[in-house]
Structure 1
Amino acid sequence: MMTNLFSIFDPSTNLLNMPLNWLSTLLGIMFIPYSFWLIPNRHFMIWNLIIKKLHLEFKNLMGPNKSNGSTFIFISIFSFVLFNNFLGLFPYIFTSTSHLTISLSITLSLWLSFMFYGWINNSNHMFIHMIPQGTPSILMPFMVIIETISNIIRPGTLAIRLTANMIAGHLLMTLLSSTGNSMNMYFVMILIIMQILLLTLESAVAVIQSYVIAILSTLYSNEVN
C-alpha cells in the first residue's frame, strides 16, 4: 500500500499489492474511443480547437517545405505529456512524467531520429550549422566543440526540465500538507487556500511544460533541414 504522497515518485511501490504504477500512463487510451462514437460535447470541441491552433503554430515554425501531417507527432507528444502531467495532480497517482524513464525516453528518441535524419540526408547542412555565420577563423574549432556539446545535451535538458518542474510542485504541496496536523483551525484554512493556489499553479505548469517540450522538439526538428 502507498503510505504517503512521497511514494507517488517511487515506481517500485504498489497499490493493493499490484504493481500498477506505470499503467497510469496508459489510461489515456480509454478516452480515445469516447471521441469517435459519442456526440461531440464542449470538452472535445475545446480540445479540437486547441489541436487546430497547435497544428497551425507548429506548421508555421516548421516552414512551408514540410510535408502534410508532420506536425502530428508533436501534437501527440503535447497530448501525451499534458495528460500525464494532469494525471499526476490527483492524490496517490503515480506521476510518470516526473521520472527520467518517461521524459528521457521521449526526448532521446526524438533527438536521435532528428540526428540520424539530418546527418544521413543533410550532412552539409549539419556541418554548416556547427559554425555560426560570421565566426572568425581562429574561433571555429572552439565553436564546433561548443555547438556539439550544446547539441548533445539537448535531450537531457528537455527531460530534466520536465522532470524537475513536475517534482518541485508536488513536493512543495506535500511538505505544506504534512504540517496541517500541528496547526490550529485558522492556519489550516490559510493552508487550504495556499494548497488551492498551488494546485492552480501546478495546472498551469502542466500545460506550460507540455507546450515547451513540444515547441522545442519542433524547433530542433526544423534545424536538421
Structure 2
Amino acid sequence: MMTNLFSVFDPTSSVMNLSLNWLSTFLGILLIPLSFWLLPSRYSLLWNKILSTLHKEFSTLLGPTSHPGSSFIFISLFSLILFNNFLGLFPYIFTSSSHMTMTLTLALPLWLSFMLYGWINHTQHMFAHLVPQGTPPVLMPFMVCIETISNVIRPGTLAVRLAANMIAGHLLMTLLGNTGPSLSLTILSLLIMGQIALLVLESAVAIIQSYVFAVLSTLYSSEVN
C-alpha cells in the first residue's frame, strides 16, 4: 500500500533510460530572462526587492568577516528551490525537491565544503566550537560527542526537512483529489474549497522551506569563520 501511495511521485518519463522528469528542475530558468528583455515591470521590481532584502539578511548572518559576494551563493540556492517548489504545484510538473536525491545533492556538498574549509583554515576555532562556553569539565567529553553528532546529521536534516515538507502536502492533495469521483455534489464542493485552501498553504510552504534551507545553510557557513 505504501509503495503504491508514494509511487505517484516516482519519475516515469524516460527516453533511452534517461529520466526526463528531472528537467523540470530547470523550468525556473525560463522565467528569469523576461526581466532582462522587457521594460521594468511589477514582476522584475518585486523580484529585485526580494533579492536585495535577502542579500542584506544573508550578509548580516554571514558577518563582517565573510568574503564579499558570498551571500549570492545562498540567494541562488533560495531561487532554485523556490522556483522548483512553486512550479511543482502546477499539474503535470514533476517536483524534484520532494525527492531525497535532489535535496541531499544540494545539502551534502554545501556542508562538506563548509567542514573542509573550517577544519583546514580554522582548526582551532572548529575544536573550540565542539565545547560550548561555560561547559563544566565533567561534561566536556559528552558535549564533544553531542556536538559532533549534531554536525554530522546536518545535511541529512536539511535534506529530510525539505523533502518531507514538500511531499506531505502533495500527498495529502493527491489523496483528497482521488476521492472526488465517488463523492456527492455537496461534499465535492467542500472538497474543492479544501483543495484550494491546501494549495494556498502549499504555496506558503514552498516559499518558507526554500527560505529555511537557505538561511540554515548561511548559518552553517557563518560558524566556520
TM-score band w.r.t. shorter chain: over 0.9
Give the counterpart letter for 2:190 in structure 1: I
Partners of 2:173 and 2:28 in 1: CA distance: 25
Matching residue of 2:38 = 38
| CA RMSD, Structure 1 to Structure 2 (Å) | 1.8
Is residue 5–residue 174 contact of structure 1 (8 Å, CA) maintained in 2?
A: no
Is residue 96–residue 102 contact of structure 1 (8 Å, CA) maintained in 2?
A: yes
Is residue 8–residue 93 contact of structure 1 (8 Å, CA) maintained in 2?
A: no
Partners of 1:116 and 1:15 in 2: CA distance: 37
- Normalised to the residue count of structure 2, the TM-score between the two structures is 0.93
Is residue 55–residue 72 contact of structure 1 (8 Å, CA) maintained in 2?
A: yes
Is residue 28–residue 87 contact of structure 2 (8 Å, CA) maintained in 1?
A: no
Q: 1:56 to 1:204 in 2, by over 3 A?
A: same
The alignment status of 1:166 with 2:166, answered yes or no, reads: yes
* Partner SS state of residue 36, structure 1: helix
**Structure 1 position 34, deviation (Å):** 2.0
Matching residue of 1:14 = 13
Q: How many residues align?
A: 221
Partners of 2:177 and 2:223 in 1: CA distance: 45
Matching residue of 2:220 = 220
**5+ long unaligned stretches in structure 2:** none
Percent of aligned pairs sharing the same letter: 67
Give the counterpart letter for 1:14 in structure 2: S
**Structure 1 position 26, deviation (Å):** 1.4
Partners of 1:16 and 1:188 in 2: CA distance: 38
The alignment status of 1:141 with 2:133, answered yes or no, reads: no
Q: 1:121 to 1:15 in 2, by over 3 A?
A: closer
**Structure 1 position 8, deviation (Å):** 5.2
Matching residue of 1:92 = 92
Q: 1:94 to 1:125 in 2, by over 3 A?
A: same
Matching residue of 1:121 = 121
**Structure 1 position 30, deviation (Å):** 2.1
Runs of 4 or more above 4 Å deviation: 4-8, 15-18
* Partner SS state of residue 162, structure 2: helix
Deviations 1:19-73 (A, max 9, x none): 4201101122223322212212111110110000011111111112222211000
